Amino acid sequence: MNHLEPLVAPLADESADESHDLALLRLGQHLNAENYRFVTVTPLTHQRVNAREGNRQARSLRDIFGWSRPFESDLLPEAELEALLDSGVLRAHAGMWVSDVRWSCLDDLLFVHSSFPTVANDSVFFGPDTYRFAQAIEEHLRSSSHPVRTAVDIGCGSGAGAILIARARRDAQVLAVDINPTALRFTAVNAALAGTDNVSAYHSDILEGTSGEFDLIVANPPYMQDTQERAYRHGGDHLGSALSVRILSQAVARLTVGGSLVLYTGAPSVDGVDLFLEQARAVVDRTELAWTYREMDPDVFGEELDTAPYQQADRIAAVVLTVTRSR
């Protein structure tokens, strides 16, 4: 059985999309067979490494599909190169070729996501935040005794959260929801590659396109205040924390008794005040909810403090808010 087809069919309107996604699945299988490994770094680190002398052109699969470097035709077998060009995975660039996707590892899993630099509005992000998000999910699954029958990954992106849950809880039905069609297609590819048949990818603005309650809700939303308002990056007002608060408000209303929300996000501070936590308290300070809050990293994306929206900010922290419905 080809697990990609039932996942992609509701999402792809054209045969070209299906051909593209099947090509991605085959490429992912090939990279796994070649023991391909790549850890995605921050955009600034990626830029610095690629700018070094000798790194302007690809010399390996990691250079092509990890570092997003242009390459000559002889770096891939001719048949493979032609197939990837025909499907739109590769394209011409400055007399060479370049991949429109990257492949990154998370433990023993492989995920397809957008190439560097992620400038398009429908870019699918994967990076250091994804690794921290995964840690938060895995820690919750280890510590919680509440059974997970239904789960949802809000703003799923590459599908990393949904796939981790689905693999750890094989009997659970896991939804991966996003407003970005590219994210849903990439999630379908990644779920098929991981062998997680219990993941379904659907279009939804937060939880508005879903029904019922969930034993586990996870989210790793965009949390920057992006002047270009790119969907993969923009978290709205209050220095990017508005979207996280909106997710929090919808999610706590859809938890089963004993169910939990694990929200990984960024928390900007101004004059020592955590803007996200200040807003979150108004939602979670209720008798039927128990919650914990911790900083995973006190200082991320420090370069953003030089931009106009963050002129008054002290720092941006990576935080995890876990909310459990007690009754």
Alpha-carbon gap, residue 8 to 16, rounded angstroms: 12
> Does 123 map to a domain?
no
Q: Which domain holds residue 264?
A: 128-325
Same domain for 36 and 144, yes or no, is no
Of the residues 114, 137, 167, which one is the last residue of a structural domain? 114
Query: Mean of the pLDDT values across residues 80-108?
Result: 95
Same domain for 163 and 77, yes or no, is no
> Residues 247-289: pLDDT tens digits?
999 999 999 999 999 999 999 999 999 999 999 999 999 999 9
Q: C-alpha dihedral over 147, 297, 131, 62, to 10 degrees?
A: 180
Q: Which tokens belong to 326? A: 């007690």
Same domain for 44 and 166, yes or no, is no
Of the residues 68, 92, 114, which one is the last residue of a structural domain? 114
- CATH code, domain with 297: 3.40.50.150
170-174, 236-240, 295-299: range with lowest mean pLDDT:
236-240
| C-alpha 233, offset from chain centre | 11
> Does 199 map to a domain?
yes
pLDDT at 2 over 90: no
Same domain for 156 and 245, yes or no, is yes
pLDDT at 90 over 70: yes
**62 close to 75: Cβ distance less than 8 angstroms:** no
> Residues 95-135: pLDDT tens digits?
999 999 999 999 999 999 999 998 888 999 999 999 999 99
Q: What is the percent of the chain where pLDDT is above 90?
A: 88
Same domain for 102 and 146, yes or no, is no
pLDDT at 228 over 90: no
Categorize the per-residue pLDDT at 227 as very low, low, confident or very high, splitting at 50, 70 and 90.
Answer: confident
pLDDT at 195 over 60: yes
Alpha-carbon gap, residue 121 to 112, rounded angstroms: 17
Domain count, the chain: 2
Same domain for 54 and 103, yes or no, is yes
Same domain for 275 and 137, yes or no, is yes
Same domain for 186 and 225, yes or no, is yes
> Does 120 map to a domain?
no
Of the residues 50, 81, 114, which one is the last residue of a structural domain? 114
Same domain for 85 and 219, yes or no, is no
111-115, 156-160, 175-179, 304-308: range with lowest mean pLDDT:
304-308
Same domain for 224 and 182, yes or no, is yes
> Does 178 map to a domain?
yes
With CA atoms as reference, report the closest residue to 163 among 113, 110, 207, 126: 110
Same domain for 280 and 150, yes or no, is yes
- Concatenating the DSSP letter of every residue in 93-139 gives ETTEEEESEEEEEETTEEEEEEPSS--STT----SHHHHHHHHHHHH
Same domain for 96 and 217, yes or no, is no
> Does 147 map to a domain?
yes
Prediction pTM value: 0.92
- What's the whole-number average pLDDT of the chain? 93
**Which are the contacts of 295, defined by CB distance < 8 A and separation ≥ 6?**
267, 317, 318, 319
The pLDDT value given to residue 132: 98
> Does 121 map to a domain?
no
The pLDDT value given to residue 180: 95
Burial of 65 per CB tally in 10 Å (0-12, 13-18, 19+) = buried
